[in-house]
Amino acid sequence: MEWTYESVSETFLSIESKWDLLNRRIDGVCFWEYVRFGIHREILEALELLGSAHTEKGVTLSERLRGLYLWGRNVVYKSPFFADERDVLFYGHPRRKLRNDGLWWDLYCDPILDSIDLDYEYIEYDYQLDHASPAKTQNRRFVDVINYSGTIWKTLNPYDLGQSEVETLRSVESDIERHFGVSVDVVGGVQDALADREATLPLYKRLLQNVNPDIAILVVSYGKESFVEACHEYDIPTVELQHGTINKYHMGYSSRGKRARQTFPDYFLSFGPFWTEQVELPIDEERIFHVGYPYLEMQADTYDGIDSTDSVVFVSQGSIGEQLSKFAVETSEYLGSKREVVYKLHPGEYDRWEDEYPWLVGSDITVIDQEEPSLYQLFAEASTQVGVYSTAVYEGLMFGLQTFLVDLPGIEYMRGLLSEPHIQILDRPSDIEKETDTPISFDTERYFRSDAIHNVGQALAEIQSNLDRDHRDTESHG
């Protein structure tokens, strides 16, 4: 059988449903929520439908020692356990962007923190064994001591699963191998996840006791299940800021039938209504706020009016970078000197592209393997963009770009976008010069609501108002 991203995901969901994995518990823990995203991705990578999204870290001895160093240093340096009591706790995104002010920004949190007066503490884990500095974010603390405590604990103390639990998980493994022809260590994955939780959950609780926030705001909830669980135990509402594309096959979000999930945030702040039309989030609609994307809006304003060229920008991703970069070379060879082809690498590809995409080396393509020029500057200067399923493709539409998608694994993510009449599939390089009578029109409000900072402030105020009302109701019935 020739697998596609969609068919793999549908089969994965059928296996999940067969074994009722989202409702199963081990020692009272909804364990599947901790491993679901990773196992789904492992299957996709084993079937070579997705490559590695980022350069792999933590493999060599020196990298393991670096992780141990971060753990030891964080016991005292920027320790989360010395955090002050605050109204709001932000759990940000560790991959930062260097802006022309010389500071490294968290693109999702810093525009909010820079514009809304909040009494906050901010935590982050390391990105590729480092923390970018100097950072835009104030009150920043690291959770390396928490994360690496989990890594150390699960290495030294494997979680003891019961015989019946092991048998069930082995059956799941067998189903995966029977359907996909690949071997996935589900038992080991669950053991690691539960052992990691065993170490990190009490540490996150200690952090929350120190900060005692009224609300916790986080970017990327999957992978932070222990943190969300700790917040729920202390009745601290959690709010997720959308950070990328989501659809019905994104296992960090998809939850068919609105089934409850114990480690999903209480509220979700989306870029716009388009995104939550694509997926059944496991929360009620009144807990979803369409606020926009503050950083994108800020960048669109910055580059408004810049002189554009006829260049073609390819938006890369590590997961499909090999195939897309080869297509870019073919396109460059077809266009010759008529148009510049720019290949914008994802930051996770910066330090490996010359080894993994050697055909780009020495080609006529302009390869961008650093933070400058920014993606948004490239968009402002270009007339055409080519991608597969990156969030950046949607962002490029904000700049009025002619948009093509290459039919590679993950394009299923873009099913909603493909309904737009001006979005085209690029089957061969020559198609990029096809004439089209369809005007470029983009309903920005559907994808990225305008006045994002104002919308975020209103959403947080409404959430806080709801919390105050619930607190009063609890006291009146006490």
pLDDT in tens, 108-148: 999 999 999 999 999 999 988 899 999 999 999 999 999 99
* Confidence at residue 436, expressed as pLDDT on a 0 to 100 scale: 57
Q: What is the pLDDT at residue 340? A: 95
> What's the predicted TM-score (pTM) here?
0.89
Q: Look at residue 39 in the predicted model and tell me its pLDDT.
A: 97
Show the low-confidence residues of the chain (pLDDT under 50). Answer: 54-58
Topology of domain 298-445, CATH: Rossmann fold (3.40.50)
- Interhelix angle 32-46/5-18, nearest 10 degrees: 140
Predicted pLDDT at 188: 97
Q: 378-421 pLDDT, tens per residue? A: 999 999 999 998 889 989 988 888 899 999 888 877 878 887 77
Domains of the chain, by residue range, sit at 5-58+146-293+452-476, 298-445
